[in-house]
Amino acid sequence: MLAAVLILFSNVNFSYAAPLPKWAEAPMVRQSETLSLKEAILRSFGRSPAITQASAQAGIGQAQIDEAWSVWYPQISASGTSGRSKQTDSSGSLNNSASYGLTLSQLVYDFGKTNNNIKKQETISASYYYSLLNVMNEVGEKTALSYLEVKRYQSLCDAVEDNIKSLEAVRDMAHLRAEAGLSSSSDVLQAEARIAGMRATLEQYRAQHLTAVSQLSVLTGIRASHLPDYPEALLKQPIELDQISYQNNPQVQAAQSQQNAAKYGVEAAKSQNWPTLSIQGGRTRYETDNRSYWNDQLQLSVDMPVYQGGAISSRVEQAEGARRAAQSQVSQAKMDINQKAATAFANWSGAREREIAGDQQFFSAITARDVYRNEYKLSKRSLNDLLSVEQDVHQAAVAKLNADYDGWASAVNYAAAVDNLLPLLEILRKHRDDLPNL
């Protein structure tokens, strides 16, 4: 029996595995020759789950507005029953076997209950829209910084390769001098050791560059061979920490919309103390044992709470608390923006100063290297002196590059803090219809 089972399984072809469901498939990444910063951000918009979620929430907000408005429209319902029922009054008993009909209700006036609820939902929907803009700004900032890291490590790899070429020239020089008997062969070995160390550094930077490329490809779905330079507009943006346009910032606008919604919530809660007036009409058909008849209804209905155990007062207090909490969120949003902008400006200023110092250091190191090389040829300098100045040149180049890219990163952080990043890249969305195609 066991042998038969083994033979049966040996004839089964396991090469045809069931296809993965859509939700289990890995995100696609395509190869591309080039990828600009603007295109990278737009592609990140299309792949970002956070933007998809915020966009769906904005759609929910519009549906909530439609639901709030529906209260002003006629409410029509149909009803029907089947089965025995008995009604007894002074004129005798009436046995019903079935009934069916239509009922219509039209709200006339409710002292602001519905209107305040509509305004509340409209402001909540606006906050969802501003939250979507804020998420887009955050995704744009994250993509821009990831894009920058790819450029940074590529430049660092280039700087190391330049240093290796320079060290190889020193090694060749030491080899010629050793062959001529002007120096020891240990100079060649010493130069080779320094070259090996720089090659190890190069591999480290290459690994970091590959990591940055992978992170950018996850965000954009594109693995590009070349990334163009950053737009100069980022460095030319006006920086005015005391004149930040908070009223146009989506983070503040979202918080302000929530505060307005809470204010309408308070008014809606207070209006529960007032009556609701509506017209109710209906036409119902009753089937009885003796005869069938219609029951017509047209009435003005007044519904007003008299006592509910303090429920309405509690709702008003809750709404007031929500309004105060929402008001504090506006202040918190302004503080967050100001802190992020001030930090970015301080980092940008520091990076500019470091870049200026790096330029001077690099120029001095280059000048010293040329002098040391000539003096080494004349046996007035040792190889250690020459290798030391080569290290100075490389460190100055790396410091200059890092200061430059730190300045770019600070410019991105500042632009994102004041909601200027996407407009600078000509990704405009001043109105709802201006949103990129998600």
C-alpha triplet 253, 255, 256: angle, nearest 5°: 60
95-134 pLDDT tens trace: 666 778 899 998 888 888 889 899 989 998 999 999 999 9
Name which residue leads in pLDDT, 149 or 314: 149
Name which residue leads in pLDDT, 389 or 92: 389
The alpha carbons of the chain give a radius of gyration, in whole angstroms, of 37
* Least confident range of 18-22, 223-227, 236-240: 18-22
Average pLDDT of 66-72?
Answer: 90
337-349 pLDDT tens trace: 999 999 999 998 8
Angle of helix 383-417 relative to helix 113-179, nearest 10 degrees? 170
List the CATH code of the domain at 32-434: 1.20.1600.10
